[in-house]
Amino acid sequence: MDNISIARLLDETASLLEIDSADPFRIRSYRRAAEAVEQQTTQLSTIADDPKALLAIPGIGKGMAANIVFLLTTGTMPLREELLQKYKPTMLDLLRLPGMGPKTVALVWSACQVCDIDGLEAAAKAGHLTKLPRMGEKFVIKLLKGIEDHRKNSSRFRIDKAQQHADTIINLIRAFPGIDEIIPAGSLRRGRETVGDLDLLATGPACEPDVVSAAVEHVASLPLIDKLIAKGQNKVSFTLRNNLQVDVRLLPGASYGAALQYFTGSKMHNVALRQRAIKRGLTLSEYALLRLEDNVIVAAASEADIYNALDLDYIPPELRENGGELEAAATHNLPQLITLADIRGDLHMHTEATDGRDTIRQMAEAALLRGLNYIAITDHSKNLAMTNGLDDTRALAHIKRIREVDAQLQQDLVALNESLARDTPPTNSRISNLWDLLKTSSSRPDHNIADPSQASSSRPEAAHFAAAAERPPHFADATTRPPLTLPLTFRILPGIEVDILADGALDLDDSTLAQMDIVVASVHSHFNQAADEMTARVLRALENPHVRILGHPTGRKVLGREPYAINIDTILKQAAKLGVAVEHNASPARADLNDLHLRLAKKHNCKIVINTDAHATEELDQMRYGITQLRRAWLSPADILNTQPTAEALLKNLRPKP
DNA sequence: GCCGTTTTCGGCCCGACTGTTTTCAGTCG
């Protein structure tokens, strides 16, 4: 059993305990253990013989270690079995519905014997639920809507989850000798926010027709396959335990480009492209672009060949939605799309001072190693009590601390740059860690990023940094990290994420905000306000001259909450007029502005920033998903403010401080 | 159930909102 499965079972047990009204702290310890297991870079199955190794993981004590050993040896554990005597595993689905918490799940089970979504829907429609305590008409309406949304979304996977699964499978398939390239096609390659299934296309000597059967067998026997759906001559289809369907195609090099083009889609883009081919006396299929009259192959080995043969510039996958990209490609008017390497700063992140995990210095070093030149630390303000939000006094103390850490870092960078120039290890212990990470990553240019097990557990950053290495030639990757340029420069800007209260006021004093370089104002509560109230509230917040960035402007969450009711058009216009930048939240869970919003922002000449809202160092990597969404909105580096090379240049482009 | 220390047990983020009540439980972030 792998770590992911262990983590899932521990997390499920926590949910079952919740339904069972167990001690909340016991429940939390199961959740924490699940998270800890998930984050381990070594497989627990390889270290479970050593009792000390498990206990060394924070969050794993004697009891949890025993649970893990049980899971590894028997596939289950006593507590889980005991709970499954009382409850059904399908109840865990009910917990994902809005308004359905553990207590309500337990209630409908004891009162109506309802344990799954279909049953709950039937009970709701039959009017059985309104007889129960605390459940009225409104609740039922919300619930039925929630069930509908859940059904619509649950068959799709968020892009980052899909990418993780793709990376894992790609590594397993690459292990087979003679496979040179394997690339995800389909909506994952186009960078859609959610992905229905994975299409993986492999090529190399082992994929040539006379020998491909051995590679097909290898793929069909991958350990992570839950159900094998089909195994053909050069195609294998299967599902994973989470029901994600994966189609792997093994293709000869000669037709790889045609296949990649065909399976990347979108469907409408392909239809338009084939029509264009026919007009030119050609025919396009997944095997090749052929001349109709004599079936001579015009192009097939690479996508660029195919587009060029159709008198088109190469069209990046993100634009292939039949949204004007063919016309633009025909007239050489495709935009120069933004890439991850263009982003020089990240202006929204949290630290341990509130609900983040890492320190100011750790966030700064992690950003530095990712090629950024500046960050802003923007912890929460007091109204978000659950995050330990900062009141005025603490906020002022915090930015003093940020300035101190920045000053220290400036000194350290001087020493580090000297060491790098002379190529001699530094004597300063504060920078020896940074030195090691820089040296580790640059000395391993062939490091393969997608294999997390290769990452040293004590130095996760090294693997992150090496991510920029080796990409297959067919993979025009916009999310490659930029190489570091010497001398290293870096600035930490003091900031805050203030809360916009129900009436549009901010929850900290102007005198406090005046001390901040970056003030991000965000809505965190009262989502139930009517659209005009919500719009007025945000407009009022924008009037505060200290506000420089409007944080997560729509409150949208991918596969989660719908955006709150707001007149985004009005907001964007006003933000543009006042010079307040709007934030695109790069986190794949809450890509706040969808591509439509982003185009609207550009149309209104809005300043746009892209931030990760990271709560831990590794979340800085989520920037790549945000970049993908910007590309889908046809945005260029010039459209985004934090492509500015330095903190000074960035600040000059933000709304001037009063 | 974990952790840390005060070595044997107490603390572990908590406030706001919702729909239902008529004073609050449950959910959410």
The CATH number that applies at residue A495 is 3.20.20.140
Q: In three state form, how does the secondary structure of A449-511 look? A: CCCHHHCCCCCHHHHHHHHHCCCCCCCCCCCCCCCCCCCCCCEEEEEEEEEECCCCCECCCHH
Nucleotide B10 C1' to residue A621 CA (A): 39
Shortest-distance nucleotide from A134 CA to C1': B20
Strand B: which of residues 147-206 in chain A lie with Cβ below 7 A? none
Looking at residue A344, its pLDDT comes to: 96
User: What is the H or E stretch that residue A158 is in?
Assistant: strand A157-158
Is residue A580 in a domain? yes
User: Structure tokens of A654?
Assistant: 């933000």
Query: Which is it for the CA torsion A401, A407, A408, A409, positive or negative?
Result: positive
**Which amino acid residue lies closest to nucleotide B21, measuring CA to C1'?**
A134
Establish whether the CB of A79 is closer than 7 Å to any nucleic acid atom in strand B: yes
> Does residue A568 belong to any structural domain of this protein?
yes
CATH code: domain of residue A220: 3.30.460.10
Residue A207 CB-half CA count within 13 A: 23
Q: Whole domain around residue A219: which residue ranges?
A: 158-330
- Cα-Cα-Cα-Cα torsion A502, A503, A506, A510, nearest 10 degrees, comes to -170
Tokens of A428: 């300063």
Do A135 and A107 lie in one domain? The reply is yes
Question: Which nt sits closest to A95, CA to C1'?
Answer: B27
| Nucleic strand B within 7 A of Cβ A136 | yes
Residue A643, CB, strand B, below 7 Å: no
Judged by C1' against the alpha carbon of A65, the nearest nucleotide is B1
Q: Has residue A76 been placed in a domain?
A: yes
State which residue has its Cα closest to the C1' atom of B12: A25
| Start-end of H helices in A518-581 | 531-543, 568-578
Per-residue CB contacts under 7 A with strand B, chain A residues 382-401: 385-388
| Cβ A131 to strand B below 7 Å | no
Q: Do A244 and A203 share a domain, yes or no? A: yes
Q: Is the CB of A23 under 7 A from strand B?
A: yes
Same domain, yes or no: A114 and A217: no
Query: Does residue A559 reach within 7 angstroms of strand B, measured from its CB?
Result: no
Q: CA nearest A377: which of A386, A390, A622, A385?
A: A390
Residues A147 and A182 in one domain: no
Cβ pair A291, A282 in contact under 8 A: yes
* Residue labelled with tokens 């990209």: A325
- Asked if A553 and A629 sit in the same domain, the reply is yes
Name the helix (H) or strand (E) containing A21: none
Are A657 and A515 within 8 A, CB to CB? no
Per-10-residue mean pLDDT for chain A, 658 residues long? 85 90 88 81 83 87 92 93 90 87 90 90 89 86 85 79 88 89 91 89 91 91 82 88 85 90 89 90 91 89 91 93 90 94 95 89 93 95 84 93 96 93 88 84 36 32 36 59 86 95 91 95 85 91 96 80 80 96 90 86 95 91 93 95 97 96
* Pairs from A298-301 (Cβ < 8 Å, separation ≥ 24): A299/A257, A299/A258, A300/A254, A300/A255, A300/A256, A300/A257, A300/A258, A301/A253, A301/A254, A301/A255, A301/A256, A301/A257
Tokens of A462: 């090294």
Looking at residue A562, its pLDDT comes to 66
Strand B interface, A 236-255, C-beta < 7 A:
none
**Residue A608 covered by a domain:** yes
d(CA A96, CA A171): 31
Distance from CA(A385) to C1'(B6), angstroms, rounded: 29
Proximity of residue A355 CB to strand B below 7 A = yes
Structure tokens at A69: 């050993």
Same domain? For A74 and A170 the reply is no
**Residue at which a domain ends, from A153, A171, A195:** A153
A162 and A147 belong to one structural domain = no
Does A308 map to a domain?
yes
A133 CA → B22 C1’, Å: 15
With CA of A529 and C1' of each nucleotide, the nearest comes out as B17
- A86 with A185, same domain? no
Of the candidates A537, A548, A547, A545, the residue with the CA atom closest to the CA atom of residue A570: A537
- Which CATH number do you get for residue A149? 1.10.150.110
| A133/A207 same-domain check | no
Q: Are residues A16 and A105 in the same domain?
A: yes
CA A129 → C1' B21, Å?
A: 17
Contact A57, A29 (CB under 8 A): no
* pLDDT at A462 (0 to 100): 35
Looking at residue A197, its pLDDT comes to 87
Q: The tokens 């999310």 sit on which residue?
A: A479
- Residue A193 counted as domain residue: yes
Ramachandran angles phi, psi of A344, nearest 5°? -110, -10
**Crossing angle (nearest 10°) for helices A392-422 and A360-369:** 40
Look-up of token digits 């069909």? A220
Domain finish residue from A311, A330, A349: A330
Chain A 272..311 CB hits on strand B (< 7 A)? none
Do both A180 and A269 map to the same domain?
yes
- The bases of strand B with some atom under 7 A from any protein CB are 1-3, 11-21, 25-29
Strand order in the sheet with A197-203: A181-184, A197-203, A245-251, A235-239, A227-231
Query: Are A519 and A592 in the same domain?
Result: yes
Residue A186 counted as domain residue = yes
Number of domains making up chain A: 3
Instruction: Kindly determine whether the C-beta of residue A143 is less than 7 Å away from any atom of nucleic acid strand B.
Output: no
The answer as to whether A476 is a domain residue is: no
Query: Is the peptide bond between A266 and the residue preceding it cis, with omega within 30 degrees of 0?
Result: yes
Name the nt closest to A21 by C-alpha to C1'.
B26
Distance from residue A98's CA to nucleotide B19's C1', rounded to whole Å: 14
Residue ending a domain, among A91, A119, A153, is: A153
